[in-house]
Structure 1
Amino acid sequence: MGDRYVNGTEGETTGDERVDAAMARLGELEATPPAEHPAIFQDVHRRLQDALTGIDGEPA
């Protein structure tokens, strides 16, 4: 832990590449017009749902 997200967003990584990639998408918000924000939030939500769904099938 202690690393930065791939896109340079401040913060620690979660240790799960899928979650880190989803959170990194939030870094795009500042550079995009507000009209495009819902699509980014929907993509982040979908990615996080996919990561949560995949938890059940992973070995502990």
Structure 2
Amino acid sequence: MTEEFSITRARPILGDLARRVAATREPLILTDHGRAIAALMPLSGQTGPEGVIRDAAGHMVAGQD
């Protein structure tokens, strides 16, 4: 299951969370008042907007097993 963090809890440790996502390759969800509003997802190393979109699409498809 994907871990969730409220934006209030994530704010002071956002750098640590981003490094954790990069190291573990596991995405996490940011919530605001219990509602999912964003996700931190690892990137494959692609640069530029096209690589980010490609990586995000791959995570969404992979998560639909």
Fold shared, TM-score > 0.5 on shorter chain: no
Which of 1 and 2 has greater Rg? 1
TM-score, with normalisation over the residues of structure 1?
Answer: 0.36
